[in-house]
Amino acid sequence: MADRPIGPHLFDGARPHWRWGPHMFASILHRITGNGMAFVGLGVLLWWLGSLAGGADSFARFSEAMGSPLGLIVLVGLSWAFFSHMSSGIRHFVLDVGAGYELKTNKFFAIVAPLTGIALTIAFWAIILTK
Amino acid sequence: MTKGTEIGRVRGYGSAHHGAHHWLLQRFTAAGNLVLVWFLVISFALLPGFDYATLKDWVSRPLVATALALLIVSVFWHARIGVQVMIEDYVPNTGSRFAVTTFLNLAAVGGAMFGLVSIARIAFTGAA
């Protein structure tokens, strides 16, 4: 192979010619949280609605599973995935109109978006758990 | 039958304006999700409890059932597009990609329909 430059793909780690930056982290986090919600979140959403439609017994099984330590980890994880994906999604809306590409601005919001996701997750569970 | 090359036949027609369709739908459904999932988040924060009677009574309200049905459509549509983009990035083989995308379409439509039927059942059978 000629020693020519190759595209900065995530799995080209054998020849690192790029280094991690906040914008890369925000990008892959957006994909991970989005697909995580698609595969896990939608399943939980359907289980929740299906068990409610199924009656008191089926809802009790759902409620028991989600009230378990593992269930709570899943729910907290999903809420974090939503708040993170929403924050970086709004960042994408801004980038879509052509704004926020200046290096410092881009870096700043790539850091702010994931932190906003974590802050909203903490605020949400503070409200839920103190009810 | 027109004469000439393929490029000659399309030259001058301009954009078909279909290229951005997939991209735009991802944004439209994202806007829908933004409103509808926040409706769900705020509702969870405001609901007095998460027991069967409270939740069933809540979901059976017409406005709530409408919002949840819209949420199912918007969220499943958005997820279908997003997962498709991931498949296109990570499944290089054309045949496998076709098979996985076909399965994705069936799963997304099937899942969304199950959600809608569940909401309809709760809404039409009324409060517990």
**What does the alpha-carbon distance between residue B20 and residue B25 come to, in Å, rounded to a whole number?**
9
Packing angle, helices A69-96 and B21-46, rounded to 10: 130
Read off φ and ψ for residue A31, nearest 5 degrees.
-70, -45
A83-87, B5-9, B47-51, B91-95: which range is least confident on average?
A: B5-9
pLDDT (average), residues B25-53: 97
CA distance A31 to chain B (A): 8
Beta strands, E only, chain B = none
Q: Residue B79's closest CA among B20, B43, B26? A: B26
Residue A86, exposed/middle/buried by CB under 10 A (0-12, 13-18, 19+)? Answer: buried
Q: What is the separation, in whole angstroms, between the first and last Cα of chain B? A: 66
A102-106, B9-13, B25-29, B43-47: which range is least confident on average?
A: B9-13
pLDDT at A111 over 80: yes
**What does the alpha-carbon distance between residue A88 and residue B100 come to, in Å, rounded to a whole number?**
27
What are the tokens at B2?
């027109």
**What does the alpha-carbon distance between residue A64 and residue A101 come to, in Å, rounded to a whole number?**
47
**What does the alpha-carbon distance between residue B34 and residue B29 come to, in Å, rounded to a whole number?**
8
- B22 touching A (Cβ < 8 Å): no
Contact A31 B86 (CB under 8 A): yes
Complex ipTM, two decimals?
0.88
Q: Which of residues 86-125 of B touch A (CB under 8 A)?
A: 86, 111, 114-115, 117-119, 121-122
Q: What percent of chain B has pLDDT over 70?
A: 94
Where residue A83 falls among pLDDT bands split at 50, 70, 90?
A: very high
Residue that wins the pLDDT comparison between A102 and A7: A102
pLDDT at A63 over 60: yes
pLDDT (average), residues A52-75: 97
pLDDT (average), residues B33-46: 98
**What does the alpha-carbon distance between residue B47 and residue B58 come to, in Å, rounded to a whole number?**
9
**What does the alpha-carbon distance between residue A116 and residue A111 come to, in Å, rounded to a whole number?**
9
pLDDT at A10 over 90: no
pLDDT at B25 over 70: yes
pLDDT (average), residues A65-77: 98
| Residue A109: partners with Cβ closer than 8 Å, 6 or more residues away | A91, A94, A100
pLDDT at A14 over 90: no
pLDDT of residue A1: 52
Using a CB-CB distance cutoff of 8 angstroms, which residues of chain A are in contact with residue B59?
Answer: 49, 52
Judged by DSSP in three states, A14 sits in coil
Average pLDDT of chain B? Answer: 92
pTM over 0.90, yes/no: no
Interface A-B: count of C-beta contacts within 8 A: 72
CA distance A12 to chain B (A): 13
pLDDT at A26 over 80: yes
- B81 touching A (Cβ < 8 Å): no
pLDDT at A17 over 70: no
Average pLDDT of chain A? Answer: 91
DSSP state for residue B7 in the 8-state scheme? H
Where residue A21 falls among pLDDT bands split at 50, 70, 90?
A: confident
